[in-house]
Each structure stands twice: as structure tokens, then as C-alpha cells.
Structure 1
Amino acid sequence: MATSRKTTRHPAAAAVTEPGAAKGYPALLAEVKARIQSAQYAALRAVNQELAGLYWDIGRLIVERQKSEGWGRGVVVQLSTDLRVAFPGVAGFSAQNLWYMRQFFQEYSAAPKLQPLVGEIGWAHNLLILSRCKDVQEREFYLRMTRKFGWSKNVLVHQIDNQSFEKSLLGQTNFDKTLTPALRAQARLAVKDEYAFDFLELGAQHSERELERALIARIEDFLRAMGGMFAFMGSQYRLAVEDKEYFIDLLLFHRRLRALVAIELKIGEFEPEFVGKMQFYLAALDAQVRQEDENPSIGIILCKEKTRTIVEYALRDTRKPIGVATYEITKTLPKKLKNQLPSPEAIARLLERL
């Protein structure tokens, strides 16, 4: 006759098989994930720095030889052919890329402040910034933003096309008064003065609900237009306060800032009372939704039009971090914003904090 054996589970076994229930496990998981991401970033940064250093040296050698030997284009073409024969498994030695290396050295050897930055982003990103941006501070902006927010190549193209340099520097926010010094610069540059939603198929006359539905239907394009570091949390996000319900048009989460971002959509002109409503939403989010390890929630009031002085007065005494921006849904010629930018000294101070 078989006898049954009663197995006694050790308390530690339950903790092993059900780690999610263990006290402190979420913190452990978050710490390990952060460490892995840090290592991945460090490895990628090391590769980028080595590649940028290699291309810098090749560009320098070409420039020096051209000056001393009077070489023409034919020598660069020959160099490309010989390098590809010598290193058949290594890409990047086309004649065109060698000319890019030459330009890379020439342009940045005259800008020592930018030299450490070029090694921290990919070569394709460097080429985009080199070819599309001619102003030194504009290049510094896109170099630092790509590094800080991890923009992909497509996101970088979109940001340059939509004049993020100018629109970020012109942004109307109260972040200098409502956020810690560690977050101010990042937040200011993460919230632009105007957003281009030219991927939407909406007529000039549309409702706020139609705009919201259209943005959700093209959520990937929408998040790219917002800057590429946002995660979608929900639309008509419900907040219950006492016995009443309130709904935020769109709720996002900024991964680098580690902050909830509430967006209110307005199809008309900015009105001062919009700020009071947003302050209420942010207070409720911070009290009910924000996690302990997250930063204060941020609000963006997105309007079709705004008067800058009215926005300035409306934000002056607010205690919650809020930005007011406009949106455009039609393909229009870029606005001439250069003459509205802060002074070069003010831009330099802002970029240094990134």
C-alpha cells in the first residue's frame, strides 16, 4: 500500500516562487532595470565616442594631406576603394562618407565646445545636424537634446523640420518658479511653444473632441511630434474628487523627466481661466496618481492661438508647473522665429544646464 508524503513548504520558497509579492521587490526590479539601462547607454556611448574619434582622425588626415600635398577628389575616391578592400566587413568607408568625415572635422574643429558632444550621439544623427543646422547654438541644442532625450533619427528629423530649437526657446512656462533646478532646463526644452500636427486630416473647423480622437488615432505620430520621450497613459483620464468626476483630455508620461503630463486641448484662443482648471488637475494627479519616485506633474494647455502677454500674466502667480503652447495642423511655411529668440548668452546658459 502506497503511503502519501506530506510536503512542508519552507516560507522562503514562497518568496522565491512569487517574487512580485515580496516586500521591496518592485524597488529591486526598478534598480536592476535602471542599472541595465545605464550599462547599455554607457556601452553605446563608448561605441559612439570611438567611432566619432575614428572619423575625426580620418577627416583630419584628409584635410592635412590636402593642404600639404594638394590632393584632389581622386585621392579620396582611391582611399575609399583601398579601405573597403582592406576592411571588407566594415561599413562606412564610401567616398561620400569620407567627404563627410572631412566636413565633420572642418566644422567642429572650429567649435571646441561642441567637440565632446558629437561623440555621445550616433553618426547618422551627427550628419543630420551637420547638414541641416548651420548656427553653432542650434547645433548645440540638437546635439544636447538628442543625447538627453535619446531621440531616434526619425524623431530628430521631425524636430529639425518643425523648428524645435526656436519653439523650445520661445516656450511660455512657469517652470523657473515651480520646478527644482535639476528639472527646469529639461522641462523647458521638453515643452515647445508650438506643435505641428500636420499628419492629421482635419479641416480648419473642428471640435476639441475631433482633435482628441484624431490625435489618438495617430498616436505614434502624435508622440513623435511631442518630442519622442512620452508614453501614452489615456484619454479623458478620469479623476474622482469627493463625489464629482473630472476628465483630463490626454494624459502622458515623460520617461526622462519621470513626470505625468496632463494636456488640455482648446480649439480657440487661450483664456486665463484655463490655468485655474489645469492647476486643479495637477493637484489631483499629484495627490491621487503620482508615484512616490515620480516628479511633480506638469500641465500643457494646447490652444489654437494665444497672446503672449496674456499667457505671461496668467502664469505669473501659479504654483503648479504649466506651459501654454499652440498647435498647427496644416502644412505651412516655417515661421521666421530667429529674431524673437533670447540673447545668445541666455541661450548658452540654458543649454549648459542640459
Structure 2
Amino acid sequence: MSVSKAIINDIKSIIVESKDKAIRTVDHHRTMMYWRIGKRIFEEEQEGKHRADYGKFLTKYISEELEPEYGNGFSKRQIEIFRQFYRTFPIANTVYSQLSWSQYKILIRLDNQDKIEFYVAETIKNNWTVRQLERQIYSSLYERLLISNNKEGVLAVARNEKQPSEAKEIIKDPMILEFLGLKRENSYYEKDLESAIITHLQDFLLELGNGFSFVARQKRIHLEGDEFFVDLVFYNRLLQCFVIIEIKTRKLTHQDIGQLQMYVNYYDRIERLSHENPTIGILLCADKNDAVVKFTLPEGEKQIIASQYQLYLPTEKQLLEELNKELENFEEKGDKTQI
């Protein structure tokens, strides 16, 4: 009597799914226990707020009473984390079961409520792991999106309150590619960068953002006897369009922009279906002159984007400086419009 392997695979899937649900349920109950402990500590602190250093005394006293019985999970440092957890998320229904306690511990380190809301929404929407959440925070995802967008728009897209309507709402400049393992001081060719991206495709898709899927590498295009090769082709289901990426390991030139424009035109006229939106082209370059990009493209062009890549994680200071520069440029444009 032969038994199909399908039944074994189905049972294994049921076991794994049930185990995962059980782990998530236990973790959420633990997270809520920590939230309730933090709430109780906060309430006690408010009662004794007239006493100097009462908070420090209280966390030390609680840990001394609990740690011998319940272990180092109730050390003074952990008790302080419980208190900070409640202070960061004071409303019980904003503690989501989709997030683990490990992720909440990362989130409460952030110093900005808008930033916290953004990473909570993105983690839930994209089902990020702890490592993926950490990586997005360390690569300053929120600040990079703010460079080309307004805060309300960034948060609205993250919360699924609106779908992105143009590429700049989800495509970052710069893109951070530290996961490729390439060193700035080493010389490498465009094909080396392309190969590294394919090797680390999952990480690259995470860096690209929401809704991307890989389509082709070195896509061949025939134009009346001439052959051209598009470095990378993706599709974005949120924008409902093809996304072409051309890689340049040097400073961008106006000829590069013209080349990418040709590829975008080809996809729009030959590959794109009637219900799909216009193709987007991204020039992923080591360096760029924004003025060259601006004056090479037609005014109001939204299909071609030049995004500089970095092979290292930037500091928050670097990103904030870049953000402030963008805000100053925006204000200058506003002043000129008024004049």
C-alpha cells in the first residue's frame, strides 16, 4: 500500500504553523506582562514623585525582591526596560501581537515618536524579523525616505493609509548596500556589484522597499540589429510597473541618463501592458551631480531616478545633514516661487 508523501508534508506544515502560533502567543503574553509591570512601576513613581531619585530607588528595590526568585530577567536593567516600554507605548492596544518582545526592546531605544510609529507599521506590514528591523534602523531608513518626502506621506504609506503614487515615495537615495561586503577602497567593476546584488538578492529586495520582485538580469534588447543589455529588471506590485536598474560604479554622466531613458522607453512601448503604469528607471551610481540630473531630464520627470549607493552604514548625523540640506533647498524654491 503506497501512501502519498503529500500527507506527510501537510502534517509537517500543520505542526510548524501550530508551533509558530504557540510561540507568538506565548511571546505576546510575556510582552503584555512586561507592559503591565512597567505600568505598575510608572504609577508607583507618580505617587512618589515628590521624592528625589524615587525612580532609581524603586527599580533597585523591585529587582532585589524579584531577581532571587525569578532570575536575571528581572534585574535592575530589565526593570528599567519594562518602565521605558510602558512610557513609550502607554496605550495597551498599541502593543501588537505581530511584534516580538525583542523587537519592542529595539523600538523603545528610538527617540522620536514618528520614527517609532513608522518602524512599527513597516515591521507589521513586511513581517520583518528582528535582524531586518535592526538593519533598517541602523541604515536610517526613516531619515532616507524623509530626504525626498514629507513626514506625513512617509507615515501614511507605512500605515497603508495610502498607496505610493510615485517612485520617490518608496525608493531611497542613498541606497545602503553594506550587506554586499564590498569595500570602498577596493576597485571593482559594475559586473562585480551586479553579481554581489544577485548573491544577496533577498537583502537587496529589502533595501529596495515594499512590493519589489526580481524579473531579469542582463535583459537583452534587440533594436534593428543592435543589442543592448539592461543590468537588472524588477517589478513593483504597489506601483504596478517595471523598475529598471542600471549600475554605474563611477560618477553619473548625462550619457548614462540618456541610456536609461532609452531602456525605459523600450519597456513602456514594448513590454508594458495596458493596465500597467509607466516604467521607472533607477541609476544606481557611486556619485552624482544633482544639477546634471535635473537639467538632463525634462522638467517634472518622475520616471528616472538617480540614487547614489553607499557600501557602508551612514551615521544618523550624516543623514540629518543631508535632510536639512534638502529642506533648505525646498525653502529656497518656495521663496523663489513667492517672488
Same fold per TM (> 0.5)?
yes
AA aligned opposite 2:59: G
Distance 1:161 1:56, change over 3 A: same
1:201-350 to structure 2, matched below 5 A, reads: 201=182, 203-227=185-209, 230-241=212-223, 243-254=225-236, 256-290=238-272, 294-317=276-299, 319-329=301-311, 336-341=318-323
Distance 1:211 1:340, change over 3 A: closer
Equivalent residue in structure 1 for 2:165, among 184, 198, 223? 184
Q: How far off its partner does 1:189 sit?
A: 4.2
What TM-score do the two structures reach when normalised by structure 2?
A: 0.65
Asked if 1:128 corresponds to 2:106, the answer is yes
Question: Deviation per CA, 1:88-134, whole angstroms, max 9, x where unpaired?
Answer: xxxxx75565543321221344xx8xx87653751333321222x21
1:61-210 to structure 2, matched below 5 A, reads: 61-68=40-47, 71-76=58-63, 78=65, 99-109=80-90, 119=96, 122-123=99-100, 124-131=102-109, 133-171=110-148, 182-184=163-165, 187-198=167-178, 199-201=180-182, 203-210=185-192
Structure 1 portions without partners, runs of 5+: 1-44, 86-92, 347-354
8 Å Cα contact 1:121/1:143 also seen in 2:
no
8 Å Cα contact 1:149/1:256 also seen in 2:
no
Distance across 2 between alignment mates of 1:312 and 1:236: 27
Distance across 2 between alignment mates of 1:65 and 1:243: 79
Q: How far off its partner does 1:47 sit?
A: 10
Q: How far off its partner does 1:305 sit?
A: 0.6
Higher relative contact order (CA 8 A, sep 6+): 1
8 Å Cα contact 2:285/2:307 also seen in 1:
yes
Distance across 2 between alignment mates of 1:57 and 1:218: 41
8 Å Cα contact 1:266/1:303 also seen in 2:
yes
SS of equivalent to 2:164: helix
Q: How far off its partner does 1:263 sit?
A: 0.6
Question: Deviation per CA, 1:226-256, whole angstroms, max 9, x where unpaired?
Answer: 3475332221122345554432101123355
Q: How far off its partner does 1:64 sit?
A: 0.7
Distance across 2 between alignment mates of 1:279 and 1:318: 15
Q: How far off its partner does 1:142 sit?
A: 2.4
AA aligned opposite 1:63: F
Distance 1:239 1:103, change over 3 A: same
Distance 1:127 1:285, change over 3 A: farther
8 Å Cα contact 2:164/2:170 also seen in 1:
no
8 Å Cα contact 1:118/1:143 also seen in 2:
no
What TM-score do the two structures reach when normalised by structure 1?
A: 0.63
AA aligned opposite 2:181: L
8 Å Cα contact 2:144/2:172 also seen in 1:
yes
What is the root-mean-square deviation of aligned Cα atoms in Å? 4.1
Count of equivalent residues: 282
Identical-residue share of aligned pairs (%): 26
8 Å Cα contact 2:165/2:239 also seen in 1:
no
SS of equivalent to 2:299: coil
Distance 1:52 1:75, change over 3 A: closer
SS of equivalent to 1:236: strand
Q: How far off its partner does 1:139 sit?
A: 2.6
SS of equivalent to 1:160: helix
SS of equivalent to 1:201: coil
Distance 1:58 1:200, change over 3 A: same
SS of equivalent to 1:184: coil
Distance across 2 between alignment mates of 1:208 and 1:192: 20
Structure 2 portions without partners, runs of 5+: 1-23, 49-53, 154-161, 331-339
8 Å Cα contact 1:146/1:156 also seen in 2:
yes
8 Å Cα contact 2:139/2:313 also seen in 1:
no
Q: How far off its partner does 1:288 sit?
A: 3.8
8 Å Cα contact 1:120/1:147 also seen in 2:
no
SS of equivalent to 1:237: strand
